[in-house]
Amino acid sequence: MATIYDVAKAARVSPKTVSRVLNGDAPVGKKTRAAVTAAIAALGYVPSSAARMMRSNKSGLIGLITGAISDQIEPAQPAGLPELLLVRGIQQTIGLTGKTLMIADSGNRSERVPDLIKTFLEHRVEGLFYVAPYHQNVRLPPVPEDTPIVLTNCFDDAGTPAVIPDDRRGQHDLVARLIAAGHERIAYLTLREDIVATGLRRAGYRDALGEAGIAYDPALLQCGEIGSPETETQVLWTAIDRMLNLDQPPTVFCCGNDRQALKVYGILRSRGLAVPDDISVAGYDNYRVIAETLYPPLTTVELPYTAMGVRAAQRLLDLISGESRDEAGPDVMAGPVYWRNSVTERRPTNVSQLKLVRED
């Protein structure tokens, strides 16, 4: 393999002159530059990225830790849409900069994260991403101040820069849209109580009811995700049965996510109820594999994962450049309501002011 000394000899210049041509850090005459360039091409010389990195103190590398590749989430563990959507948004943005994104998979084992961070630091990455499988509070080992990190789909108590979904607003916008369509008895089947999103979405549900002057009825709010997936269907069945037997049953079920909505469709049909003619159903996530293939297609709220990935990448790049070094805390991102045929319009409504996407 050719070295800088071989190039210098072929071009009849000093190694220092070759270095100046390669790095562009000092003036070099046109003829000399041409001679060096010709020698590099003739010898097939490849500059050492390690040497450039030592000189510039910039590796061009960015580390990302995720569990999306192995996707070994335990059956009883909550999860949102695939982390790959977040990673995709990050990769699309980083790829435009010429930097290299190095991805390490944690296997969704938190005990592996410190070693992965250490490995990335040893490779002198310019910044780090930590991508969580669902909206949660995390606790990571300390990272040197000169290596910025952006948390994605998660946050910590230290105020580390982060990008998270606006779960409260998402549920609020969905319920507000249902109310605008004439629904007042709106049932909500939540995700597990230990998930950050559950508390936020519950608050958004109550916000929308309060704004419309509709009294909150605790009988219409039930947890639909307790125990293992094997017992979830029975939990949902019991909750749905309880609410349908109320003196004033719901006209629509809001589900904690689109996977849950899929099960609710089956439970309602097993009871002889048609969606949406007898009762409406709405989900959360806009997991298109489910939402667009269900019959009828599912009204749901977008979890803006790809956009969150893009924003996380933009934020880290700003931190690396020093443009927002003092910025801290989370960016909160909301997605639109996708209005499909699983919900019946109970009366004409003007929805021009509502944030939604209509799909017929």
CATH number where 75 lies = 3.40.50.2300
Task: Check whether residue 124 and residue 29 sit in a common domain.
Answer: no
Same domain flag for 134 and 41: no
Which residue bears the tokens 């592996």?
A: 112
Q: What is the DSSP letter of 161?
A: -
Residue 228: exposure state from Cβ atoms within 10 A (0-12, 13-18, ≥19): exposed
Same domain assignment for residues 120 and 222: no
In a 3-state reduction of DSSP, which class is residue 221? Answer: strand
Q: Are 253 and 348 contained in the same domain?
A: yes
Amino acid in the structure at residue 1: M
Note down pLDDT in tens along the chain; length 360 residues: 678 888 899 999 998 888 888 877 667 888 998 998 898 888 878 775 555 554 445 678 999 999 867 654 444 444 445 678 899 999 999 989 889 999 998 887 788 899 999 999 988 899 999 999 889 999 998 888 889 999 999 999 999 999 999 999 999 999 999 999 999 999 999 999 999 999 999 999 999 999 999 999 999 999 988 766 678 888 999 999 999 999 999 999 999 999 999 999 999 999 999 999 999 999 999 999 999 999 999 999 999 999 999 999 999 999 988 766 556 679 999 999 999 999 999 865 444 444 455 555
| Residue 73, pLDDT score | 46
Please enumerate in sequence order all residues whose Cβ is within 8 A of that of 269, keeping only pairs 6 or more positions apart, or say none.
275
CA distance 101 to 125: 9
Same domain, 155 and 282: no
188 lies in the same domain as 278:
yes
Are residues 344 and 320 part of one domain? no
Q: Residue 316, CB half-sphere, CA atoms under 13 Å: how many? A: 32
Which amino acid type is present at position 287? Y
- φ, ψ dihedrals at 25, nearest 5°: -100, 10
CATH number where 11 lies: 1.10.260.40
112 lies in the same domain as 149:
yes
Structural domains in the chain (count): 3
> What length does the chain have?
360
Crossing angle of the two packed helices 258-270 and 229-244, in degrees rounded to 10 = 60
| Cα 261 to Cα 254: distance, rounded to the nearest angstrom | 8
Q: What's the pLDDT score for residue 326?
A: 54
DSSP-assigned letters across all residues of 229-269: HHHHHHHHHHHHHHHHTSSS--SEEEESSHHHHHHHHHHHH
Residue span of the structural domain in which 90 resides: 61-165+305-333
Q: Are residues 94 and 27 in the same domain?
A: no
Domain boundary among 56, 73, 92: 56
What span, in angstroms and rounded, lies between the C-alpha atoms of 313 and 61?
Answer: 13
